[in-house]
Amino acid sequence: MSTSLVPAVPKHTPTFRSCFPARLNSASSHGTSTSKEAKWQHIHPTKYVPLYKAALKGDWAAAMEFLESDPGAVRVPITEAHETALHIAAGARRVEFVEEMVKWMHPYDLALKNKYDNTALYFAAAAGITQIAKLMVTKNPSLPVIRGCKRMLPLNISALLGHRDMVRYLYSVTDETVLTEDDKIALLIATITTDLFDVALLLLMKYPSLATARDGNEETALHALARKPSAFASGCRFGLWQRFIYSCDPVKVSNITIDEKDLKVCRGFLAPAVQSLNRLLWKTLKSVVPSIVLVHETKVMNIQAVEVVKVIWNEILLLKGWQISAILTEPSRPLFTAVELGIVEFISVLVQSYPDLIWKVDDESRSIFHTAVAYRHEKIFNLIYNIGALKDLIASYVDSNDNNMLHLAANLAPSSRLNTISGAALQMQREYQWFKEVEKIVLPQYTEMKNSDGRTPAMMFIEEHANLVKEGEKWMKDTASSCMVVATLIATVVFAAAFTVPGGDNNNNGTPIFIKDKSFMVFAISDALALFTSATSVLMFLSILTSRYAEEDFAHSLPKRMIIGLATLFVSIATMMIAFSATLSIVLQDRLAWVAIPIATVACVPVTVFAFLQFPLFIDMIRSTYGFGIFNRSPKPMLY
């Protein structure tokens, strides 16, 4: 019997799965201690089951009853992995149990290790419960420097698992003279991997040499940062409301500092005169709207991540040229890794301080801008407009397969980028926009240039996007068909309503009885509008069904028709419900006049439902067709 504390291992970090007991782990593969095995062989396996269960459940009353009959059980290994009851309780996060258990133990009992060389503090560090760690360290201050499996300190294991509070505490109680260079760089990369950038900044300030140090995988902290798009603003996926909060949050780069004593992030806001008031305002907002807290913490993390990049890069720039080149190429290329993942903040920091990076190419002879085109990261591609006339030289680069930049734009975008756009038609539109944008900056003769496969960019675009065109056509036709059915029904209903007016008409001259009533005029106008707009909607959707569906049609022609069709359909639904409400108001006004308000309220339901379901698509289509677009040709200069 053993605990099953097997933490999830982040990628690109030293694996420590074998450092914790699990049924799938083979004891023979971990170099077990002969003396511990011999001791275990003389212990009856079931004798300590009650104590084991009590520790696992946190039942101190049951444990105390057992210990009163066998006080020595506090230091006896009670599992096959040689864990004591303290190991089990710490791994199970039983704070009260640990608190009482520690009182029964001698300080050296807390230093007992299991067969993987892990102390109970190591388990507490992995579990992330700071209170448990404090109880143990108070009893035995030497625990933080006792190494566990794979020679890792409790501090390192807590960092690898992203336990911020635990890292802060263990760092404050760990003797820094014990930390080797390997410990420090492993800790730095672990904090970056698990988004503990405040700790990373502290480490870099105290040990600047860590910026250029390499870990066991020969990677630097820069390599780890290049794989962290989620740590930067460009990698965050926020909705409209969250983006608004993000832009309004007054966190600034200059106002974020690190308190070395307890690793607390100190966040300043605006001018000192309004600092207190501003903090009070945001504190109030956070309590009222919890989502603000998440957005605020994300923004703080984003700013800290950029600061970490700056600190690391400034240290790297102090090296000699060949050393900088080695970091940028071995064992991988962090510059191009960041481009592939779209981390524009990372690229901007590096290029601003070292402009020569714009000329660097990867293993396929592609510049950062060629790679940005291939992976469809418009924010990085837009940086090409920051370098003035140099863009013409870079745009003339050809890769190892004789592909120019337009060939790369002609390739189908990675699915991870396509899936960020709703609907195959809008995906095709975005692809066509990319192709035309790149076409504007390459040399004119490059539009007809053939690659090593003998294909021109136009040929590649048609071939690579053939399936997407079919999917876009199906998406457009399915959407148009569904909407046209609704528009046709509305047109039929409102046309019939025009000849069966509410209240009837005068038999002598056919004039509607309520023609002088204001509600009747509302009915007449709304019914007419519903008929005209629904008929227009039908015609627009019909034109979509009969379109030729060429690649360029997805740029403006088809989206324009869909926009008009959806807009007129929405208006027709709204005016039809107004006509319906007006009709009921006319019929019931003498006896049930009060019913007008609930009728109007209920009439808003279908309009609201339609808006909720279709407006996101409608807005996306307007924005992608008539908006400012994703390409910015006149940004601020970056290199001069």
pLDDT of residue 128: 94
Residues 399 and 527 in one domain: no
- Give me the CATH number covering residue 154: 1.25.40.20
The whole-angstrom distance between residue 531's C-alpha and the CA centroid of its chain comes to 45
pLDDT at 638: 56
DSSP 129-149: -HHHHHHHHHH-TTGGG---G
Q: Would you say residue 134 has pLDDT above 70?
A: yes
Residue 9's pLDDT band (cuts 50, 70, 90): very low
Burial 83-96 (b: 16+ CB within 10 A, else e): bbbbbbbbbbbbbe
pLDDT at 10: 46
Asked if the model's pLDDT at residue 181 lies above 70, the reply is yes
Between CA 516 and CA 605 the distance in angstroms is 29
Same domain, 40 and 169: yes
Residue 470 in any domain: the answer is no
Across 529-557, average pLDDT: 94
Query: How high is the pLDDT of residue 31?
Result: 40
Q: Are residues 377 and 313 in the same domain?
A: no
| pLDDT, averaged across the chain | 84
Q: Residue 385 pLDDT more than 80?
A: yes
Query: Residue 498: its pLDDT value, please?
Result: 76
Confidence tier at 62 by pLDDT (50, 70, 90): very high
445 plus 484 within the same structural domain: no
Q: pLDDT above 90 covers what percent of the chain?
A: 61
- Whether 403 is in a domain gets the answer yes
**Overall number of domains in the chain:** 4
CA distance 81 to 98: 19
Mean pLDDT along residues 167-173: 94
Task: Note the pLDDT of residue 616.
Answer: 80
Helix (H) or strand (E) holding 40: helix 34-41
Domain assignment of residue 2, yes or no: no
Whether residue 258 lies inside any domain: the answer is: yes
Give 510 or 244, the one with higher predicted confidence. 244
What is the span of the domain harbouring residue 264? 216-343
The reply to whether 246 falls in a domain is yes
334 in the same domain as 377: no
pLDDT of residue 288: 59
Q: Does a structural domain hold residue 402?
A: yes
User: Given a cut of 80, is residue 271 above it in pLDDT?
Assistant: no
Choosing from 127, 150, 179, the residue where a domain stops is 179
Structure tokens at 306: 């950029």
In this predicted structure, the answer to whether residue 612 has a pLDDT above a threshold of 50 is yes
- State the pLDDT at residue 243: 79
Give a yes or no: residue 193 inside a domain.
no
Task: Decide which of 202 and 32 is more confident.
Answer: 202
Q: What is the average per-residue pLDDT within 290-305?
A: 85
User: The pTM is what?
Assistant: 0.82
- pLDDT > 80? residue 487: yes
Do 443 and 511 belong together in one domain? no
Last residue of a domain, one of 160, 179, 198: 179
pLDDT tens digit string along 230-242?
A: 999 998 887 777 7
Whether 317 and 235 share a structural domain: yes
Predicted pLDDT of residue 505: 56
Considering the domain architecture, whether residues 165 and 87 belong to the same structural domain is answered as yes
- Whether 415 and 526 share a structural domain: no
pLDDT in tens, 582-611: 777 777 666 666 666 776 677 677 777 877
The verdict on residue 65 lying in a domain is: yes
Q: What is the CATH number of the domain that holds 534?
A: 1.20.140
**In the predicted model, what is the mean pLDDT of residues 613-639?**
78
Measured CA to CA, the distance from residue 233 to residue 301 in angstroms comes to 9
What lies within 8 Å, CB to CB, of 550 at 6+ separation is: none
- Per-residue pLDDT at 292 exceeds 90: no
Please say which residue of 315, 343, 371 terminates a domain: 343
pLDDT at 8: 45
Q: In one letter, which amino acid is 235? A: G
- pLDDT at position 11 is 46
Nearest to 465 by CA among 392, 526, 551, 538: 551
* Residue 446 shares a structural domain with residue 366: yes
In percent, how much of the chain has pLDDT > 70? 81
Same domain, 439 and 484: no
Q: Are both 410 and 374 inside the same structural domain?
A: yes
Q: What is the mean pLDDT of residues 262-284?
A: 50
